[in-house]
Amino acid sequence: MASQGIEIEKKYDVGDDATVPALEELPGVARVGTPRSAVLEAVYFDTDQHTLASHRITLRRRTGGTDAGWHLKLPPEATAETEPQRRREVHAPLGQPGVVPDSLLARVQAYLRGDEVRPVVRLETRRTTHALYGEDGVHLADLADDQVDATRLHHGEAAEHRQSWREWELELVHGGPDLFAPAEEVLTAAGARPAGHASKLARALGRDPGGAAAPEEWEGPAALLAGKKAPAAAVVTVYVAEQLRRLLAEDAAVRLEEPEGIHNMRSAIRRLRSALVAYRKLYRAMPVTRLRDELDWLAVLLGDPRDSQVVLERLRGQLDELPPGDATDAVKEQVERKAGGAFNAGYRRAQEALKSERYFRLLDNLEDFRDHPPVRAEAVAPGRKIAGKAVDKSARRLRRSQKAARNARRGADHEDALHQVRKDAKRLRHVAESAALVTGKRAGKVVKAAHKQQKILGDFRDALIARNLLHDIEAGSSVPESAAQALAELGKRQAELMDAAEAKYRKARKKSRALLRRGVI
């Protein structure tokens, strides 16, 4: 079984003649434990193209030391350049030397996209660990003094490319990040300097024998957004890059059937689509149309099990509030069979889609859009101005759908109209999120107002889906007559929830009316 943790550390390059300084002089450090020595051997796995390394992911099997086993380090969380690196690390038992645990492979399939992994680097590390303790005996951090020998592997065999170096690694245990600044001052005075590589693997790969640089991941928003002067395409690129990062992260949650995986992945997809729609005139039509169509395909696949999941959780809770008995049990059985069956079938379809060439091609195309946007000349227009116009246009669209909902006939037409309001509020929210990168506080207020309407009408939609499911159960022939009362109680509950949600929506709509009529710039 895999276990997880957050790794917070800083690395330093250091010469062979450097001496570990007096760490007990650091603020908050009461004593330093007796140095512990160990020899660690790690074999790193990646594709021949070093796909995982290009995304700053490391997958290794390590023996020796106190944490022997398989280690997967996921991409670092976005932090300021001067802040310590935070990475989620997942562990699994040693198992067989060449067999990567499925629980770890599932977390990197969105990056591998069908490619196989094999050993690419072997590291032997002679580590001396200095444990730092506080006044109350709390284990604050460890300073690892590492002598590293690295060997590049080709098809599992040692290649000629070998390296040796020494580095220090300060990793928090129970201490806070305020330890890093004084520690860096002490370590640099002893001859250390901030590491030139993000990981031992990155240094080991370095340059291949032919001289080609190891692949690097996309550098992030800092180089693209220059405050409110950023060009329009840069605003979109930064927003798309963040949603793509989220989509890749949530891919593993869906594969591993984590509770919120489908919802979070679908949200990233919806944000991507909203941005492509809102800013489509900045780009050539064909690439954007293809991406939108494929994102729609994936969103629909995820939407089916998500709707079933929500209605199942909702009705389970409401059924628990009914008096126990055969009638309630009969309804529970039908709800589990109908909604649970739909959820299981939909989830299987979604998981199969995540294994398909079509899905992997979509990820490739999203990365290509991020790295090489198919821009038109208008893309260099001021991002603040273009983003503001996109928000205003989305707000007008929402006002039109609100008016249509007010005028729609009661019943299915009105329910469909409110669903359109919800979708338009969601799109406005997403577009305003992108605009907030350059337009300031007003876009943030629009985000909150649109989100409120979206959430309220989401409750309305969930109750509507539950009501329709109950109608289907009631119309079936397999429900005993004794269950009619329980079905009636549940149906009445959905109607009450729908009425309450609609009343809240009307208040939220009125409250946001003035805000949504003003521009964001």
> What is the three-state SS of 46-82?
ECCCCHHHHCCCEEEEEECCCCCEEEEECCCCCCCCC
Q: Whole-angstrom Cα distance, residue 515 to residue 32?
A: 58
Nearest C-alpha neighbor of 47 from the set 105, 7, 3: 105
Tens digit of pLDDT at every position of the chain (521 positions) = 567 778 899 999 999 999 999 999 999 999 999 999 999 999 999 999 999 999 989 999 999 988 899 999 998 765 555 566 678 899 999 988 889 999 999 999 999 999 999 999 999 999 999 999 999 999 999 999 999 999 999 876 666 678 999 999 999 999 999 999 999 999 999 999 999 888 899 899 885 433 334 444 444 554 455 555 788 999 999 999 999 999 999 999 999 999 899 999 999 999 999 999 999 999 999 999 999 999 999 999 999 999 999 999 999 999 998 888 888 888 899 999 999 999 999 999 999 999 999 999 999 999 999 999 999 887 788 888 999 999 999 999 999 999 999 999 999 999 999 999 999 999 999 999 999 988 878 899 999 999 999 999 999 999 999 999 999 888 876 777 778 888 888 999 999 999 999 999 999 999 998 888 876 66
Q: Whole-angstrom Cα distance, residue 164 to residue 156?
A: 20
| Spatial contact of 51 and 109, defined as CB atoms under 8 Å apart | no
Give the distance, in angstroms, between the CA of residue 88 and the centroid of all CA atoms in the same chain: 12
SS3 86: strand
Around Cβ 81, how many Cβ atoms within 10 Å? 5
SS3 210: coil
Q: Whole-angstrom Cα distance, residue 53 to residue 72?
A: 12
Would you say how long the chain is, in residues?
521
C-alpha distances in Å from residue 234, one per residue of 193, 228, 323, 362, 386: 33, 11, 58, 21, 11
- In the beta sheet, which residues pair with residue 124? 41, 149
pTM, full prediction: 0.86
Buried b (16+ CB within 10 A) or exposed e, 54-74: bbbbbbbbbeebeebbbbbbb
